[in-house]
Structure 1
Amino acid sequence: MLTTSRPRAASKRATNVSLPEDLLAEAKALQINISQAAEAGVTQAITRARSELWLAENQEAIESSNAYVEKHGLPLAKYRMF
């Protein structure tokens, strides 16, 4: 599984990315590093996709836990200070 928290010295590989001309022009005008912005965007997309996948894979357990709490309350509720 690919990890998004990798060392800074990770090797990089050149790739081609197609962007709308106006978006690229505005980014260049604002002196945005396209490679860094693309890397940040891909990292964010990976994080979001992993989160959605984890939720889908664990949906049954989450629903079971929520049903237990609805039926029996929180297991340690009597020890809560609020």
Structure 2
Amino acid sequence: MSIEARKPHDLTVSEALIAEANALGLDVAGAAEQGIARAIKAEKEPLWRIENAGVIRVEREHLEKHGSH
């Protein structure tokens, strides 16, 4: 992840989940940030595919006609 401004936020997280993460020596805040980033990416990917469907189609057609080289 890039270095960005950090701001504390209140999150409600299962105590058992935090305890298990701590027992495993995980960086809870880092893991939470990574999980949020993955969730955002998962939500955005289908939108990106829709927005870029034309370009993807043209690229596939080009590869089918001309191969990968």
Structure 2 SS opposite 1:11 = coil
Higher helix share: 2
- Offset of residue 23 of structure 1: 0.8
- For the aligned residues, what is the CA RMSD? 2.9
Q: Which has the higher contact order (CA 8 A, sep 6+)?
A: 1
Q: Which residue, 37, 43, 53 being the options, matches 2:37?
A: 43
Structure 2 unpaired stretches of 5+: none
Task: Specify every segment of 5 or more residues in structure 1 that has no aligned partner in the other structure, as ranges.
Answer: none
Give the total of aligned pairs: 67
SS in 2 for 1:75: helix
TM norm structure 1: 0.60
* Percentage of pairs with the same residue: 26
How far did residue 13 of structure 1 move? 0.4
**CA deviation profile, 1:25-69 (whole Å, cap 9, x unmatched):** 11111121111001111111122222121123334x278x38x95
Larger Rg: 1
